[in-house]
Amino acid sequence: MSPEARAREKIDALLLAAGWVIQDYMLDIFWLKGEALEDSANLPAPGVIAADIVADLEAALEQFAAIEEDLKS
């Protein structure tokens, strides 16, 4: 067994003892800085940024809804 797998078993045991529920889903959330945004003079209009954020959040919400449905079954 790899060191990572042994560590995961220890962490999972501690989480279970603390009352957490271990799930099979991995949420990989991180921020990316686009190349177009490196120079603040090249920022899109606020309305464009807001529309992009709304689209990203709606897509994420759909994914969470699918996960919720999977967990119900």
pLDDT tens-digit series, residues 25-60: 766 655 556 665 566 677 788 888 899 999 999 999
DSSP conformational letter for 28: -
H-assigned helices in the chain: 3-17, 46-72
pLDDT at 54: 93
Structure tokens at 49: 């940024």
pTM: 0.44
Who has greater pLDDT, 63 or 46? 63
Q: Which residue has the higher pLDDT, 44 or 17?
A: 17
Q: Is the pLDDT of residue 64 over 70?
A: yes
Token readout for 21 is 């529920």
- Rg over CA atoms, the chain: 19
